[in-house]
Amino acid sequence: MAGVVTGYTLAALLLSLTWADHPHHPHNHHEAELSCHTLSPFNSNFAFALYKRLNTEAAAGTNIFFSPLGISTALSVLSAGASGETHRQLFSTLGYDTLNQTQVNKAYENLFHMLGHSRENEQLNVGNAVALRSDFSPLEKFLKVVRHHYSAEIFSVDLTKPGDAAAEINTFIANKTHNMIKDAVKDISPAMVMMLINYVYFKGEWTKPFNRDMTMKADFHVNPTTKVQVDMMKRTDHYHVYTDAANHTTVIKLPYKGNASMMIILPDEGKMKEVEGFISKEHMRNWHNSLSEKYVALQLPKFSISTEASLKQTLNEMGITDAFEDRADFSAMSDKAKLKVSKVTHRAALSVTEMGTEAAATSVIEIVYFSLPPTIIVNRPFLVCIWDHSIRSILFMGKINDPTA
Ligand SMILES: *[C@@H]1O[C@H](CO)[C@@H](O)[C@H](O)[C@H]1NC(C)=O
Ligand SMILES: *[C@@H]1O[C@H](CO)[C@@H](O)[C@H](O)[C@H]1NC(C)=O
Ligand SMILES: *[C@@H]1O[C@H](CO)[C@@H](O)[C@H](O)[C@H]1NC(C)=O
Ligand SMILES: *[C@@H]1O[C@H](CO)[C@@H](O)[C@H](O)[C@H]1NC(C)=O
């Protein structure tokens, strides 16, 4: 029966503001709007590629949920500080090969500008931050780019108290994600110089909320031999639906008040693997364009999940390798210290209720010294020698036994 979501594992729940690639009408659109859409096809391709990667690595039966926009943005901030091969790998994996960093920065600036516009009934908050080791100064040019184009907040943390520094970062992320993500950072490397932080928070109310009185316990079939009890919400109404029989999939669109909607892709029984194998931006566009209004009895579980992923291995396999190695080139972040990425972590949470959806994600990229700069403390007697380079002569020489004498 079309529209009844009781089948096998619930497919990827995809939240998006711009599913279908909007055709470009240069004469009707403001230039900024065009430019903020330039990234959307690339970011969609990256999203599906990342989904497939995460899926091959995930243990059977686990949930996958992440913010593609959040991860693309965090990696773009990182690429703003990268040069050479390190930069090339980041751009290639993000699909930005045909663009340069300046264009990408500008496109994100426009995207944040668009997102900043007030939205009446939905709340989408996407932002960036840089937590800086208090005794480390990155290049001012890099900070200017992240502040200006990525609207990043910059704050410093005291690494002499790593526990307090982590707590401070976690409080920041918890605040931005309305407490959906509380412990984003578990431990901080003593060699950490900078943490690039992205957060995405979304709260949307269904245009057609479910009636709480209709929600009943029902089975959800995790696989052919495992079922779990869920709170199944019900609503019989007109929805945009498409049954793609040839491709074994039913697609349902649940709009939120405002500009966002949830697309649920429900593969037929036993067809999840097949659908995951071919799903792409083109399929989504085709499905989206094929939706038509039908009167259906929809049943959708009410649920709350959270996920946590360490992306280093995944990104390595997608072609981002140098950033994590001693050959990393982050000379656009610092011309003095040799830096590399130590970890990329992503956490996300999703809650679906009768009233709507609340979702949040955070991506954290930890940047460290290759090795901690050696500490030199002149706290014992020392020799001193003042040398003039031009005349190659020792001007002064001595031994300091007691600087207070
Ligand atoms: C980036 O590309 C644009 C458009 O092709 C060009 O005008 C600009 O000079 C390029 N910037 C850099 C830094 O290469
Ligand atoms: C939807 O997006 C348009 C811009 O694309 C904006 O003007 C409008 O305010 C948005 N509506 C809501 C309810 O956010
Ligand atoms: C986040 O912090 C700001 C400023 O301190 C505060 O006004 C806001 O209520 C906080 N938001 C949440 C969700 O805690
Ligand atoms: C199934 O997917 C293919 C793309 O792989 C598409 O061309 C075709 O139209 C889809 N079938 C239907 C019935 O929509």
The residue with tokens 């605040």 is: 175
Q: Is residue 386 part of a domain?
A: no
Q: Note the ligand closest to the C-alpha atom of 103.
A: 1
- pLDDT in the model for residue 120: 56
Residue 319 has pLDDT above 80, yes or no: yes
Q: How many domains does the chain have?
A: 1
- pLDDT in the model for residue 2: 34
Residue 103 beta carbon below 6 angstroms from any ligand 4 atom: no
Q: Is residue 330 part of a domain?
A: yes
Q: Note the ligand closest to the C-alpha atom of 121.
A: 2
Q: Among 48, 265, 286, which residue has the most ligand 4 atoms within 8 Å of its CB, making it the best to mutate? A: 286
**Domain CATH code at residue 75:** 3.30.497.10
Portion of the chain with pLDDT greater than 90, in percent = 63
- pLDDT in the model for residue 380: 79
Q: Is residue 92 part of a domain?
A: yes
Q: Which atom of ligand 4 is nearest to the CA of 287?
A: 14
What mean pLDDT do residues 82-90 have?
98
Q: Which residue has the higher pLDDT, 380 or 360?
A: 360
Pairwise CA distance, residues 41 & 28, whole Å: 20
Residue 29 has pLDDT above 50, yes or no: no
Q: Is residue 399 part of a domain?
A: no
- pLDDT in the model for residue 119: 57
What does the mean pLDDT of the chain come to?
86
**pTM (predicted TM-score):** 0.86
- pLDDT in the model for residue 103: 93
Residue 108 has pLDDT above 80, yes or no: yes
Q: Is residue 392 part of a domain?
A: no
Q: Is residue 402 part of a domain?
A: no
Q: Is residue 388 part of a domain?
A: no
Q: Give me the domain span that covers residue 318.
A: 1-380
Q: Take atom 7 of ligand 3 and give the residue whose Cα is closest.
A: 175
Residue 404 has pLDDT above 90, yes or no: no
Q: Is residue 398 part of a domain?
A: no
Residue 386 has pLDDT above 90, yes or no: no
- pLDDT in the model for residue 375: 66
The band of 373, judged by pLDDT with boundaries at 50, 70 and 90, is low
Residue 10 has pLDDT above 70, yes or no: no
Residue 244 beta carbon below 6 angstroms from any ligand 4 atom: yes
- pLDDT in the model for residue 379: 76
